[in-house]
Structure 1
């Protein structure tokens, strides 16, 4: 069951990437990120408030947010800093790179999660799962070849570095999520980490963007910014629920979620008119075959 939720999360995450790419086109990055955190927190604030004022209404449902103390909130604040670091790197990288490059790079993130899951949680893969992981690694090296045809040097392009850093911090976040889901309610983690991100983003926006806003890319409102928050919140809700199952494996959930690259790749080809699609499609097929092996290995 948890694997099906992971696949659903992947689809929702793909649409999140598409709306994020659209929102960042010729737009200021930090205000878009701030609004994303703000809207995401507004989605969950009613559940926090209702659970506190009238707990009997949501109690026993997936949307109930139990009251917790500082002993829990301190771990959630750490989660907020990790996720926000990944997003800052990822947003800047996505603005300056084709979606058909960013998606497959992000699809390699689960390999880092796999290594961490084996070391920290004692997870072990079977033959099918190992084949899936090896195909994901191979796709990354093939993607670097495709990128060179567009003048993108993986070794010296700073935006590639940003996306790689986003993947590394995202992998750390994934491993931390498994640790959190072993101890805490999923809604407590998701609702409060969104709220804390708003408070973290306020000084970042005030100190880094506001003083130089007239010298850099101007901010413009786009309704896709709201859709970023909606699809991300839905994707994370399903993701946290999948991790709450006792037999769930973060190495597999993380890998399946990177299947979002299928959605982002198709939109990158059809709506953003990105180039060099044939060779990138080969990289994507490798990722998809890897997903199939992971699914077979998890049955």
Structure 2
């Protein structure tokens, strides 16, 4: 089931990527980061009230130590910084290219998983991972035909930074859940509110710098960004809560978000070089299937 949850989270993240692209139209990064964190925090706010006991989701503030809060806060900080980097890159790049940079995510997660949890891959499984990573790499090479140079593109480097932070968070999530034994809903609820607090700090800093509230061009996509992230996170935590879950595999499964995002980009945003990109994304899908079967 953890594999099913991982793939489902990836599919929902594909919608999240598309809605982020739409929400960023005409907007700067910090307002979207703040409002997406706001709606995400809003979803989890009822968990701190006794009524949540009805659904076994009550988070008792008195039963979480400052040490545990600090551990969860590290996760929230890494995620907030990852959002800032990623949102800027998504705004500036076609969705296929921002997804291509994320291809390095399994590599960083593989390194983290091997160092922290001692996870090893068989030759067949390693081949599946390499096929996926190479497919993303060749997809990024198409960028040369569209005027995007990997080594000269600031948005590409921002997406790489976001990818590394996300990979670190993937490994850290498993550590929190399995080593510290904190309830999943407690981690999610606190992390959502921490992200809101951190995003508010960035929002206020920008407002003080500009001496005006950051401009926001409102659309339905703004709350959808926050809600979809929370939904994907819930499904994802159900996956990593399984003791048999492998964070390297989960990182691959989350890359199915590229498939969903690419299809939506082709249909609704006029993605270029569709034929060549389709073949590469097909290789990504096949590598994921190979990994599951192996």
Normalising by the residue count of structure 1, what TM-score does the alignment of the two structures yield?
0.92
Counterpart position of 2:73: 77
Is this contact kept in 1: 2:170–2:247, CA < 8 A?
yes
Q: 1:207 maps to what in 2?
A: 205
Deviations 1:6-40 (A, max 9, x none): 11111111111111110001212210110000110
Contact 1:105 1:140 in 2 (8 A): yes
Task: Name the count of aligned residue pairs.
Answer: 290
Are 2:291 and 1:294 equivalent residues in the alignment? yes
- Partners of 1:27 and 1:41 lie apart in 2 by 21
Shift of 1:289: 1.4
Query: What is the Cα-based RMSD across aligned positions, in Å?
Result: 1.8
When residues 276 and 79 of structure 1 are mapped into structure 2, their CA distance, relative to the original with a 3 A threshold, is same
Which of 149, 159, 168 is 1:172 aligned to?
168
User: What is the TM-score of this pair, normalised by structure 2?
Assistant: 0.93
- 1:161 is the counterpart of 2:157: yes
Please state whether the residue corresponding to 2:26 is helix, strand or coil.
coil
Range with greater deviation from structure 2 (28-37 or 64-73):
64-73
| Partner Cα distance (1:197, 1:270) in 2 | 33
**Contact 1:111/1:255 (CA < 8 Å) preserved in 2?**
no
User: Residue 9 of structure 1 corresponds to which residue in structure 2?
Assistant: 9
1:131/1:293 contact within 8 Å kept: no
- What does the per-residue CA deviation read over 1:167-213, in whole Å, with 9 as the maximum and x for residues that have no partner? 11111111111111112211111111110111112221122255438
Q: Which residue of 2 aligns with 1:68?
A: 64
Q: Select the residue among 130, 134, 145 that pairs with 2:130.
A: 134
> In 2, distance between residues paired with 1:36 and 1:198?
9
Structure 1: stretches of 5+ with no match in the other structure: none
Change (3 A) 1:214 1:73: closer
Match of 1:96 among 92, 97, 101: 92
Could you tell me which runs of 5 or more consecutive residues in structure 2 were left unpaired when the two chains were aligned.
Answer: none
Structure 2 counterpart of 1:185, from 183, 186, 189: 183
Q: Which residue of 2 aligns with 1:281?
A: 278
Shift in Å, 1:82 = 0.5
